[in-house]
């Protein structure tokens, strides 16, 4: 990487693989949105400002059954509550002097994948890095939804959904390098995999909403790791990036 490359340009570059995966996932969402009666412009705007597969799926499904606006909003909020936890975690990555408005704007840019590459950013996180990653990936997500609506179901949903496997590959690429360098991170990843599987299979717990399970597990695992290995603000890897 060019040492003079700005954080924003780096975010744009790192966001390209995410954008390609987003297009495939959003395309299948666009087919669902089309069945709910949305046109391409409505789908583009909705995806541009929502950027969440579970939230949009719930929203489009609710629109299809003519749910009220409040019901649609509540479904999207509940499905996306995990982003509150991601936003809280991301605050530890900013330089203490980072303005509040930049923090808030970065929080609005969070998706699962953008959070992943942002939290893995070496040193203090430059907010412009997150802006760049979201700019390219968020627009492609919206374009994918609009394209799916235009296609109107001409492709089988299972074929389009199969393309989303690339997103899992990106998640693996995010967690493997730090896990190899730090055994505590590796232990946290392994425990999270095990507990996620158990919660998805055990009686009663498996009946819970998947988003609720994710939130509970995130709080428990992150709280435990915060006690075991708290973040040091004197870490020499932290550099000022604003």
> Rounded distance, CA 43 to CA 93, Å?
33
> Quick check: is 141 in a domain?
yes
> Quick check: is 107 in a domain?
yes
Strands (E), 17-174: none
Query: What is the pTM (predicted TM-score) of this model?
Result: 0.70
Averaged pLDDT for residues 34-60: 86
Total number of domains in the chain:
1
Is residue 193 scored above 50 in pLDDT?
yes
> Quick check: is 161 in a domain?
yes
Q: Which residue range(s) make up the domain with 151? A: 7-167
What stretch of H or E contains 139?
helix 127-151
| pLDDT on residue 238 | 45
> Quick check: is 64 in a domain?
yes
| pLDDT on residue 237 | 47
Averaged pLDDT for residues 147-158: 74
Q: Let me know: does 235 contact 78? Beta carbons within 8 Å.
A: no
> Quick check: is 83 in a domain?
yes
Under 8 Å CB-to-CB from 44, ≥6 apart: which residues? Answer: 142, 143, 145, 146
Average pLDDT taken over every residue of the chain: 82
Please indicate whether residue 157 or residue 209 has the higher confidence score (pLDDT): 209
Is residue 232 scored above 70 in pLDDT?
no
> Quick check: is 15 in a domain?
yes
Is residue 83 scored above 60 in pLDDT?
yes
> Quick check: is 223 in a domain?
no
């Amino acid at each position: 990487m060019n040492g003079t490359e700005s954080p924003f340009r780096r975010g744009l570059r790192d966001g390209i693989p995410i954008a390609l995966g987003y297009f495939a996932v959003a395309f299948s969402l666009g087919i669902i949105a089309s069945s709910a009666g949305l046109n391409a412009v409505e789908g583009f705007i909705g995806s541009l400002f929502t950027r969440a597969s579970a939230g949009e799926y719930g929203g489009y499904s609710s629109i299809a059954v003519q749910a009220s606006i409040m019901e649609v909003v509540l479904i999207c909020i509940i499905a996306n509550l995990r982003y509150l936890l991601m936003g809280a975690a991301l605050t530890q990555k900013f330089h203490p002097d980072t303005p509040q408005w930049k923090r808030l704007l970065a929080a609005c840019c969070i998706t699962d994948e953008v959070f992943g590459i942002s939290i893995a950013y070496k040193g203090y996180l430059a907010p412009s890095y997150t802006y760049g990653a979201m700019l390219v990936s968020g627009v492609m997500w919206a374009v994918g939804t609009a394209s799916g609506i235009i296609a109107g179901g001409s492709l089988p949903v299972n074929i389009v959904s199969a393309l989303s496997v690339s997103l899992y590959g990106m998640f693996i690429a995010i967690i493997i390098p730090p896990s190899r360098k730090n055994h505590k991170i590796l232990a946290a990843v392994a425990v999270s995999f095990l507990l996620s599987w158990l919660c998805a299979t055990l009686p009663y717990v498996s009946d819970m909403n998947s988003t609720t399970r994710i939130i509970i597990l995130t709080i428990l695992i992150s709280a435990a790791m915060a006690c075991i290995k708290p973040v040091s603000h004197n870490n020499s890897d932290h550099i000022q990036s604003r």
